[in-house]
Amino acid sequence: MSKGFRVAIVGATGAVGQELMAVLQERKFPVTDLKLLASARSHGKKLYFCDEELTVSQAKADSFRGVDIAFFAGGAVSKELVPEAVKRGAVAIDNSSAFRLDADVPLVVPEVNPEDVEKHKGVISNPNCSTIIFVVPLNPIHRIAGVKRAVVTTMQAVSGAGKEALDELLLQTRQTLAQERIEPQVFNYQIAFNLIPHIDVFGDNGYSREEMKLVNETRKILHDPEIQITATTVRVPVLRSHSESVNIETEKALTVEEAREVLSNAPGIVVQDDPENLEYPMPLFTSGRDEVFVGRIRKDFSQEQGLNIWIAADQLRKGAATNAVQIAELLISRNLV
C-alpha cells in the first residue's frame, strides 16, 4: 500500500465516523488527503487526524470531486450521496442498510468473503454490526461442517444506537442510584438496569428489522440462501461491545474439540474458552479490540449435531469502522481502486 489515496468520511463527527478516523490512523492507511464531511450543523467543526487539525464540511454532491475512497458512516444520507460519490469516481464503502441487499452491491466481511470485492460497481456495503460479529465465527464452522440452522440471541450495547443512547444510559444510571424520576428519550423504556427485547421497527412477521438483517445479510455473505436462521435482538445496559449467544446445527458431526480448533485457526477470531479458570468473552474486555472473541464452546446435548457458542466483539470497531477499513485495504491490495 505504497500509493496514497484521497479519502472522505461522511458522518465524521458521529461515533462510527470517529472510529473510522482512529482506525485509519492506527492501521497507517495510506491517506494523502482526508475530507471530513457531516451534516450542516457540524459544518466548521474542528477535528484532529494524525496531529493535523481538519475542518468538517457539509456533505454535498460536489464534496467527492477528486476522492478515491468515500466512507459513509451510516444514516439516511447514503441513499442520496453514495450515487453522487460513485458518479465522481470514488469507491463508496457504506455502513448504512441502504444497499446491503441489492443484488449488484457486494456485502463484505473480509475474513469471510473477500473475493466479493471484485464484483463491485462503485459501491460496497458494510454489513450490520451484529451480522459481522455473527458471521466471522459462523463461517469457519460452515465451511468444515455445513451450518444447517442457527439460532442467535444478541445482547447489544447502547452505543450501537449512537452517542445520545450512550448518554441516556449514563444519565439513567445516575438517576436510578439517586432515586430520581426517569423519563426515557432515546429508548421506549428505561435502559438502565433493564433489558429491552426490541431493536428497530417490527415487521408483519413479528420480527424486528434488526433481526431480519441477521437472517438476510448472513445468507448473502455466505452465498447460501438455504441456511435457516432465527434471531432475537436485545438492547442491554452495556456501554460498548455486543455479545451473542448462538446455537448451531450442522450437516456433519463436529466435536467440541474440532470446533475449537477450526475457530482458533480462523482469521479475526480469538478463542477464549477455559470455563474452569472462568475465561470467556465479555464486552468489557473486548471493547477497543478488532477481533471477534469466542468462548463457551460446548455440545448441545438436546440434538445430535448441535453446538453452542458465545461471542463478544466491539460493534463500533469490527462491527463497523474496522471492517470498512479492511474492505478498503482489500480494494487496494487487489488494485480495485
- The verdict on 250 and 136 lying in the same domain is yes
Picking from 58, 66, 48, the residue whose alpha carbon sits closest to that of residue 10 is 58
C-alpha angle 50/54/60, rounded to 5°? 130
Domain co-membership, 276 together with 307: yes
Q: Are residues 116 and 135 in the same domain?
A: no
Are 37 and 139 found together in one domain? no
pLDDT of residue 51: 86
Domain of 36 in residue numbering reads as: 5-127+320-333
Q: Are residues 119 and 231 in the same domain?
A: no
Query: Based on the domain organization, do 152 and 286 belong to the same domain?
Result: yes
Q: What confidence score (pLDDT) does residue 1 get?
A: 41
Same domain, 55 and 135: no
Report pLDDT digits (tens) over 96-112. 999 999 999 999 999 99
Beta-strand pair 91-94/123-125 = parallel
Q: Examine the residue annotation and report whether 43 is marked as an active-site residue of this protein.
A: no
50 is catalytic: no
Burial label for 296, CB within 10 Å (0-12, 13-18, 19+), is middle
CA 161, 24, 329 angle in degrees (round to 5)?
Answer: 105
Check pLDDT > 50 for residue 113.
Answer: yes
Give the residues across from 298 on adjacent strands.
Answer: 308
pLDDT tens digits, one per residue of 189-224:
999 999 999 999 999 999 999 999 999 999 999 999
Report the CATH number at residue 198: 3.30.360.10
Do residues 295 and 216 share a domain?
yes
Same domain, 147 and 217: yes
The single residue of 50, 129, 142, 198 carrying the catalytic annotation is 129
Statement to judge: residues 98 and 153 lie in one domain: no
Q: What's 67's domain CATH number?
A: 3.40.50.720
Domains in the chain: how many in total? 2
Beta-bridge partners for 8: 35, 70
Closest to 162 measured CA to CA, from 273, 279, 16, 333:
16
- Sheet of 5-10: strands edge to edge? 57-58, 31-38, 5-10, 69-72, 91-94, 123-125
pLDDT in tens, 21-74: 999 999 999 999 999 999 888 898 999 998 899 999 999 999 999 999 999 997
Whether residues 57 and 165 share a domain: the answer is no
For residues 174 and 199, state if they share a domain: yes
Which grid coordinates are listed for 46?
A: 474542528
Q: Which residue, among 108, 151, 120, has the nearest Cα to 309 in the 3D structure?
A: 151
